[in-house]
Amino acid sequence: MFLPIVPGNEAAKRFFGRAVILERVSHSYLLVGPDAAASKLFARELAKVFYCAESRACGSCSACASIEHSNHPNVNFFGPPAGKSVVDIDTVRGFCERTHYRSNGLQIAILEHADQMNEPAANALLKTLEEPLGSALLILLVQSTGSLLSTIVSRCHRVYLRGGDDVRSVLSGSAKEAIEEVLSPHFFARCESRGWLGRAFPDEDGVRTAVRKLLAELVEDWRARIHGQEGCELDPVLRCLEALIELRQDLDRNVSPELVLERIWRVLRHGA
């Protein structure tokens, strides 16, 4: 019923479907995905939902057609100038100006390659995000948030785009096996945790570093899970995420890594 032609990313589709139905759409989103073209397609289909005659990105009404052909007056794409890879301040100014067109209904501005903004561009965008945005929807497309100002990241609602909703599908190699192992029954009864960590994270120097890496992956994955949950199912996932974040703080406060690992196991096995 929502974004019908975009394959995969079911959790993100459900997340936006729910936000639209409950009228809880934010003013700014950060779509984080490894495939820039797929992220652009997703953003385009999302924009259609707001103007589609059937409110579902039908793909055949006049609004969907004009968004598809990039000539809808209220949906605008921005990105690096032709032949360049950096998003400059003029591009960001054009993007931000869409927030001022308040008399013409919702304005959607989509900034591709937002992680390629130079410093003046990033500061200009930050200024816009700090102001009330009125009836504008700003969508930033990035492959990762690493190069963005943390103040920009914190002012946007992050949505991760990738295939597969299973927490284990996004863990790589040894870490994936590690989670399987931790989730197996009687793990601590038959396994010496220090040895297990050494096998699960062979490249990490020391137990504390290995547990920190495990926690970082778990926190990231539980955050992604939140986008796939609805209503009352959300509470247990949020509690687990909270517990994992607290454990990460415990580790930073010098609580024994073995103890933290045992608590991780309890959270994963029994919930927070």
Contact residues: Zn ion, CB under 5 A = 52, 58, 61, 64
Nearer to Zn ion, 61 or 219 (CB): 61
Q: Give the nearest distance from C-beta 110 to Zn ion in angstroms.
A: 18
Nearer to Zn ion, 48 or 225 (CB): 48
Nearer to Zn ion, 3 or 38 (CB): 3
Q: Give the nearest distance from C-beta 64 to Zn ion in angstroms.
A: 3
Q: Give the nearest distance from C-beta 145 to Zn ion in angstroms.
A: 32
CB 61 within 8 A of CB 31: no
Nearer to Zn ion, 1 or 183 (CB): 1
- Closest residue to Zn ion, based on beta-carbon distance: 52
